[in-house]
Structure 1
Amino acid sequence: SPEVGGMSVHTFRGPHWCDHCASFMWGLMAQGVKCADCGLNVHKQCSPMVPNDCKPDLKHVRKVYSCDLTTLVKAHNTARPMVVDMCIREIESRGLKSEGLYRISGFSDSVEDVKMAFDRDGEKTDISVNAYEDINIITGALKLYLRDLPVPVISYDAYPRFIEAAKHTDPEKKLEAFREALALLPQSHTETLKYLMAHLKRVTLNEKDNLMNAENLAIVFGPTLMRAPNVDAITALNDIRYQRQVVEVLIKNEDVLF
């Protein structure tokens, strides 16, 4: 597709759903239209209904999960996705001392329920203890949200710079490289990452109860926040170690990096 702002016909790899009507895009080639500025994906027939000034109207963005991060925050006019805020608030209110927080998986049907509720009810979703007693369902819903993003929180563009930053041995040079890598992220991604890292830092402060330190959390969040952009299997495998290190550095230094 031509590298210009605004809408252009696009061939999607893998299954894609329309961000306007939330139904499947059929076909193998030129299935839909993608906005080069905000990453909104829509059927050709839906594109006339979508405002192309890149301030997607709330009623046009039907889904919450799997929706581009920048698109979602623009549609809702928030700094971060409400899923992230709501889940983290809930976890901090009743889960910080829960053993194996983020490592233990919640029952997957219940996690799917939370996802469907967010897609349907948005910020009215009830994720309180009355609705979901097991806090691991809420951590599961947050991890799923982050994994489902079309562009990961640590974006494909910035990914190589973060991996390189993690390879530095000198602590000062490492932090400087991390600052440069962070500067490459879109604002909505930075805001999300900042909020999440401050939260994970608070999780580590409760390590004696939850048994989760920065290293353990980084094992969970490495692949959740980062995906290697189109590299061969060997490189991707090698990167896993560095993905962990990236997240560990971000957690431990969140106060100075953000």
Structure 2
Amino acid sequence: MENLRNIWKPELYRIQLEAPKPYCIICDNCTDKPEFYGKEYHGIMGHKEATLRLENEPNGAFLIRKGNEFNDFYTLTWRFNDKIHHYKLYYDGTHYIKDKRYDSIYDLVADGLITTHMELRARHILEMINSRTSYTESPYVTLNRRKLNTLSQKQQVTRPTPIVKTEESNTLEFEKRPSFDLTPSFEDNPLLIKYTKSHSFKIHTFKGLNWCELCANFLWGFTAQGVKCEDCGFIAHSKCSERVPNHCVPDLKKLRGVFGIDLTTLLNAHSSTLPFVVRKCVNEIEARGMDSEGIYRVSGFADEIEALKMAFDKDGEATDLSQFSNINVVAGTLKLYLRLLPVPLVTYDLHPKFVQASQLKTPSDQVSLLRGCLELLPKAHYNCLQYMVQHLYRVTQMAAVNKMGAHNLSTVFAPTLVATPPAVTDLACEIRALQALIEYCPLIYYGAQ
């Protein structure tokens, strides 16, 4: 704890210790109390009678009552700051106030006393937290320099330059510049890219002393003191969490397997540019399946696909694909991985523009629109889609043997790669757009050979 004293700001903690503790005023002879209250319930009791009952009690004293027999709610009356206060109570299986829930009325009162005490005694600190805190000036960043370095590592991905359509003809011209090529040789020259990912904050009840990782102030309260990211464990006040940038680096220990995990979350957790499932499957297929007739169209055995899926979830990068002699099992597992992504590679937001490309008449217009709309994809989706399309383009180069041209492949992959609204049942437009993406891959990505 010694090395944390210069980082953690203990003022809020000291102020919380001064908050009054709940002191229940007991009623032993109440016969009509509801099942969710105990001896703190005093039955029907008016405002004045409750005030008199608590007048000589210490701060923190409380009781619960019903104002009159016609009320459909109960009232909490407590003494705080030498004054009597009255509050409506809410219960729907648990006691709650706004988004905070409590297992018992004691927890609610304890948290309420702390909250009102902090608002009274620590207002200047709370106003400072809500108005001045910035992530880059956070004391937590100073303490965790290694984490900051991890979060701040960035490498620019070279994206295709805009297409220029000449006035003299309908041809396409490109500026000559280095391309971002994600061919199978990628594993020999890994690109360390951190994808932007927002935190998955959920209200959390912390045990023991905890402080906000943004402002370094104490997480005050009796319960539900703040929020915690379900992916990386970042802790913050609810207000502070609204200003935390999208630098979530998920903890591998919090992820269960690799299938069905958000793409950006998975790649950040593994410090990878591409999901290893996709890379390993593509490499295996390009090594021994490019001449397999009906590759991706012919189904592998379901039990073997499930076995390979479990192996990926268990062994990760170390998974041995050579033990699966049927290449259609590898292809089926790759399709399964892509199909189980919570958000497909071509996202819901991009779907309208993607479909629009299929309705354009000239190849140059299709290529121009496809390149423009792909730029709107999240980086993780952009890179993975590029890798897959480059691979599928290479598959089409052997269509004379494997019988899988661009149309056949797009028919197989459109339901998997393209996020389609539930109301859409006819995928003709999606198939045509994906077919154009595959056929014009060298022009769109300017990197496939």
What interval of TM-score do these two structures reach, taking the shorter chain for normalisation?
Answer: 0.7 to 0.9
Shift of 1:151: 0.3
Say which is worse superposed, 54-63 or 248-257, in terms of deviation: 54-63
Between Structure 1 and Structure 2, the one with more strand by share is 2
Match of 2:308 among 114, 122, 127: 114
Question: 2: distance between equivalents of 1:100 and 1:173?
Answer: 31
How many matched pairs? 217
Structure 1, unpaired ranges of 5+: 1-29, 31-35
Question: 2: distance between equivalents of 1:41 and 1:92?
Answer: 41
Shift of 1:38: 4.2
Structure 2, unpaired ranges of 5+: 1-98, 100-195, 206-226, 235-246
Taking structure 1 as reference, are residues 119 and 44 closer, same or farther at Cα in structure 2, changes over 3 Å only? farther
* Equivalent residues of 1:39, 1:68 under 8 A apart: no
* Equivalent residues of 1:91, 1:139 under 8 A apart: yes
Match in the other structure for 2:280 = 86
Match in the other structure for 1:26 = none
Match in the other structure for 2:425 = 237
Percent identity between matched residues is 41
Alignment of 1:213-232 (within 5 A): 213-230=405-422, 232=423
Give SS of 2:425's match: helix
* Equivalent residues of 1:38, 1:70 under 8 A apart: no
Question: 2: distance between equivalents of 1:80 and 1:48?
Answer: 23
Taking structure 1 as reference, are residues 122 and 42 closer, same or farther at Cα in structure 2, changes over 3 Å only? farther
Give SS of 1:54's match: coil
Say which is worse superposed, 158-167 or 53-62, in terms of deviation: 53-62
Q: Which amino acid letter does the alignment assign opposite residue 324 of structure 2?
A: Y
Taking structure 1 as reference, are residues 67 and 99 closer, same or farther at Cα in structure 2, changes over 3 Å only? same
Alignment of 1:136-151 (within 5 A): 136-151=328-343
Match in the other structure for 1:126 = 320
Between Structure 1 and Structure 2, the one with more helix by share is 1
Taking structure 1 as reference, are residues 133 and 251 closer, same or farther at Cα in structure 2, changes over 3 Å only? same
- Residue deviations 1:116-145 (CA, integer Å, cap 9, x gap): 1111111011111xx101000000000000
Shift of 1:58: 2.1
Shift of 1:39: 7.5
1:247 aligns with 2:441: no
Name the TM-score, length of structure 2 as normaliser: 0.46
* Equivalent residues of 1:147, 1:225 under 8 A apart: yes
Shift of 1:205: 1.0
* Equivalent residues of 2:267, 2:273 under 8 A apart: yes
Shift of 1:171: 2.2
Q: Which has the higher contact order (CA 8 A, sep 6+)?
A: 1
Taking structure 1 as reference, are residues 107 and 175 closer, same or farther at Cα in structure 2, changes over 3 Å only? same
Between structure 1 and structure 2, the one with the greater Rg is 2
1:178 aligns with 2:370: yes
Match in the other structure for 1:257 = 444
- Residue deviations 1:50-98 (CA, integer Å, cap 9, x gap): 3234111222222200000011111111111010000000001100000
Match in the other structure for 2:346 = 154
- Residue deviations 1:132-170 (CA, integer Å, cap 9, x gap): 010000000000000000000101111111011111112
CA RMSD of aligned residues (A): 2.3
